[in-house]
Structure 1
Amino acid sequence: MRKTDEENSKEVISDPLQAVLSALKTQAGSDGKRGLPPVHLWNPEHCGDIGMEIRKDGSWWHDGGIIGRQKIVRLFATILRKDPDGIYLVTPHEKVIVHVEDAPFIATRIDRVIEDEAQKLVVATNVGDVFVIDAEHPLRVSVDIETGEPAPYVEVRAGLEAKIARAPFYELVEWAEPIEGKDGNVIGVSSAGQVFELGSIE
């Protein structure tokens, strides 16, 4: 199937990486200058469960009702923290567990940028995060044992992952090349000098 002009325009070859990042951040509704709170430094004594959940489609819910205001969702997303026993909303004064059905974020878009003959894959999430897949933001694909269905994820920060949506994952597969992996011949994609396996060659 031939790609439309709009789809083809997503593959950026000559534009500088910073220009692409800036454009994506603007599109995502972020100015790119927001600082993340130092949640790793906060250890409040009060810990509770107020019925916060993130469903597999990326929607946020509280006590059975959906949180429809995106600004509030994005604010909550900045104070998420993954601890050994679960994912929490953390402030200096309290810590609230968040029941996550799959992953806390969704990777809604991935763009391929070529800079100085090096490929970088730029991810945008449903809560305004924009980053490059690299050693600090690794890509992984798990496979359902029963169905064989792949489930791709990318780390956003400090163990918090984004599930890669179907459309951008198909693009990753289109950009993939055969590589030699730990389980034999597989396909993989490179980004920022790292190579990430996507799955076995059938």
Structure 2
Amino acid sequence: MVSQPTTDIEQLNKTLQAIIPNAKGERKLPPVDQWNPEHCADIGMEIRKDGSWWHEGTVFKRQKLVDLFSTILRKDADGSTYLVTPYEKVIVHVEDAHFIGVRIDLARKNDLPVIVVTTNIGESVEVSADHPLRVEIDPETQEPSPYVLIRGRLEAKLARPAFYELVDMAEEKNGELLVSSHGETFSIGSVSEQA
């Protein structure tokens, strides 16, 4: 059964702002893509598979610090990730994805269904051509790993409960599970892979 969007996108955005204390929605971010400082350092920063941030083996306990650092995060074309300022950049080792997609919502915009993904740092994006959804299938375990592009080359991996919600929204066509958002169609795998 396909979930039908019942909420207008503007109403959903207001609801997300009310229930997620650090919800960001649309926000102005520093122009990290324009900054190319010469000084680069590796100080033991990492983002682990569960979305937690670490420095030299110690987890960041202050969410405000993670939120701040997430605004100056950049992934370059060579696959390297950095915290970037106009004066220096710091290497960030990323175990899987930069963020975790913790919430999926279905709304309507211009009479089209819109899938909204909210991350562990409270940033929300609408799945679209600009924020595509992709699913990698592990060749050995056949386990799906769903990702959505948040900004630049930074992605969020959907948490398992969020992915299950996405599967519930999917339509099956010729053995393939498909979801639609902003008039775009995205494959989330085959029926046999999700069984």
Same fold (TM over 0.5): yes
Q: 2:184 aligns with which of 176, 194, 198?
A: 194
CA distance in 1, matches of 2:109, 2:87: 44
Match of 1:72 in 2: 65
Match of 1:126 in 2: 120
Match of 1:18 in 2: 10
CA distance in 2, matches of 1:33, 1:145: 36
Match of 2:47 in 1: 54
Query: Higher relative contact order by CA 8 Å / sep ≥ 6: 1 or 2?
Result: 2
Contact 1:21 1:122 in 2 (8 A): no
The code of the aligned residue for 2:103 comes to: R
The structure-2 alpha-carbon separation of the partners of 1:20 and 1:146, relative to structure 1 and needing over 3 Å to count, comes to: same
Q: What are structure 2's unaligned runs of at least 5 residues?
A: none
Q: Residue 32 of structure 1: CA displacement?
A: 4.1
The one-character-per-residue Cα deviations of 1:20-41 (angstroms, maximum 9, x if unpaired) are 1132134331354641000010
The code of the aligned residue for 1:40 comes to: D
SS at match of 1:170: helix
The structure-2 alpha-carbon separation of the partners of 1:11 and 1:90, relative to structure 1 and needing over 3 Å to count, comes to: farther
What are the residue-to-residue correspondences of 1:42-191 with 2, within 5 Å? Answer: 42-85=35-78, 86-179=80-173, 185-191=175-181
SS at match of 2:86: coil
Contact 1:11 1:111 in 2 (8 A): no
TM-score (norm 1): 0.88
Contact 2:32 2:85 in 1 (8 A): yes
SS at match of 1:72: helix
Contact 1:120 1:133 in 2 (8 A): yes
Pairs aligned (count): 188
The one-character-per-residue Cα deviations of 1:39-83 (angstroms, maximum 9, x if unpaired) are 010000000100000000000000110001000001000100011
Q: Residue 201 of structure 1: CA displacement?
A: 2.4
The code of the aligned residue for 1:82 comes to: K
The one-character-per-residue Cα deviations of 1:161-201 (angstroms, maximum 9, x if unpaired) are 00000011001111101235xxxx41110001100001112
Q: What are structure 1's unaligned runs of at least 5 residues?
A: 1-9
The structure-2 alpha-carbon separation of the partners of 1:55 and 1:194, relative to structure 1 and needing over 3 Å to count, comes to: same
CA distance in 2, matches of 1:43, 1:126: 28
SS at match of 2:68: helix
Contact 2:23 2:124 in 1 (8 A): no
The code of the aligned residue for 1:107 comes to: G
The CA RMSD measured in Å over matched residues stands at: 1.7
SS at match of 1:24: helix
CA distance in 2, matches of 1:93, 1:116: 43
Query: Segments of 4+ in structure 1 off by > 2 A?
Result: 25-28, 30-34, 114-117
Contact 2:172 2:178 in 1 (8 A): yes
The one-character-per-residue Cα deviations of 1:77-125 (angstroms, maximum 9, x if unpaired) are 0100011230110000001010000001000001011345410001110
